[in-house]
């Protein structure tokens, strides 16, 4: 059976979903060195809106958070989540020179992996962003953001996957993302299989939220269909509108015969820290 890898979303999407991005740097720093020993494929850190919240609501410097975590977690790549046309809001008018500088400073401060999203599916704009990050030596992950509508047919997903596969010069991995938590296990299996048949061997990740309660089952379906990396959070910041718990996914997938290299003692310490 395959060895499954984990991207930790505890301090990024999980706390955004449950705490509205109100997690402070002081909540993270004491446990950062332990997080670095868990064995995550990457730790997601900051997103576009997190910069705004850090400055306006928390009075913090988000760049300092990245620098601190990069120093405390030298082994595990830090992943940043960015929109292609805006940096700290949903305003799509950010000049490209500013975006280019932002990307370069992100890498300089410690971001080694980028999840890049374009909500308008503008591939020209995406490729511009991705090429800059690749030139700085970063890993690039793009996403197929799931929804259900008469327009989002199997043919739609195949076409989008092939567009991504044609951009392998600047894209390393594909993340299938169910941000609204509406996908079912059956549809997960179908969608992952479709993407896998058309992605020309690109590694697949799966990211889903627990709004409907089905996400833990969808994760198992995704793994069985060929996904090798899943996004989770430690139990105290999992479930609800957040992502499935790392502990739960790990236990369930092992019952199906899959393996993981996570250090469960270190994982338990991280979970205990955020439970306090």
Note down pLDDT in tens along the chain; length 276 residues.
689 999 999 999 999 999 999 999 999 999 999 999 999 999 999 887 788 899 999 999 999 999 999 999 999 999 998 887 767 665 667 788 888 898 999 999 999 999 988 777 777 888 888 999 999 999 999 999 999 999 999 999 999 999 999 999 999 999 999 999 999 999 999 999 999 999 999 999 999 999 999 999 999 999 999 999 999 999 999 999 999 999 999 999 999 999 999 999 999 999 999 999
Q: Which pLDDT value is given to residue 161? A: 95
Pairing of strands 78-83, 204-208: unpaired
* Cα 195 to Cα 124, 191, 272, distances in angstroms: 21, 6, 37
What's the domain range around 152? 5-275
CATH number of the CATH domain containing 239:
3.20.20.70
Per the structure, the count of domains in the chain is 1
Q: Which pLDDT value is given to residue 185? A: 98
Q: Which pLDDT value is given to residue 35? A: 99
């Amino acid at each position: 059976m395959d060895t499954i890898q984990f991207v930790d979303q505890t301090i990024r999407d999980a706390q955004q979903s449950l705490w509205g991005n109100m997690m402070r740097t002081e909540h993270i720093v004491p446990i950062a060195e332990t997080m670095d020993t868990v064995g995550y494929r990457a730790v997601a850190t900051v997103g576009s809106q997190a910069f705004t919240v850090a400055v306006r609501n928390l009075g913090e410097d988000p760049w300092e958070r990245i620098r601190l975590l990069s120093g405390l977690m030298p082994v595990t790549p830090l992943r940043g989540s960015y929109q292609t046309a805006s940096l700290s809001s949903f305003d799509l008018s950010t000049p490209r020179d500013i975006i280019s500088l932002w990307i370069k400073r992100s890498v300089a401060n410690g971001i080694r992996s980028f999840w890049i999203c374009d909500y308008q599916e503008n591939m020209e704009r995406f490729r511009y962003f991705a090429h800059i990050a690749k030139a700085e030596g970063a890993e690039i992950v793009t996403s197929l953001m799931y929804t259900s509508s008469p327009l989002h047919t199997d043919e739609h997903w195949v076409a989008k996957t092939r567009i991504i596969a044609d951009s392998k010069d600047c894209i390393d991995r594909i993340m299938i993302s169910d941000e609204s938590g509406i996908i079912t296990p059956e549809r997960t299996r179908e969608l992952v299989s479709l993407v896998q048949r058309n992605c020309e061997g690109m590694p697949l990740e799966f990211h889903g939220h627990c709004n409907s309660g089905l996400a833990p089952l969808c994760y198992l379906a995704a793994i069985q269909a060929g996904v090798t990396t899943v996004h989770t959070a430690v139990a105290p910041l999992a479930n609800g509108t957040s992502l499935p718990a790392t502990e739960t996914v790990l236990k369930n997938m092992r019952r199906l015969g899959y393996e993981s290299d996570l250090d469960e003692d270190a994982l338990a310490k991280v979970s205990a820290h955020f439970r306090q």
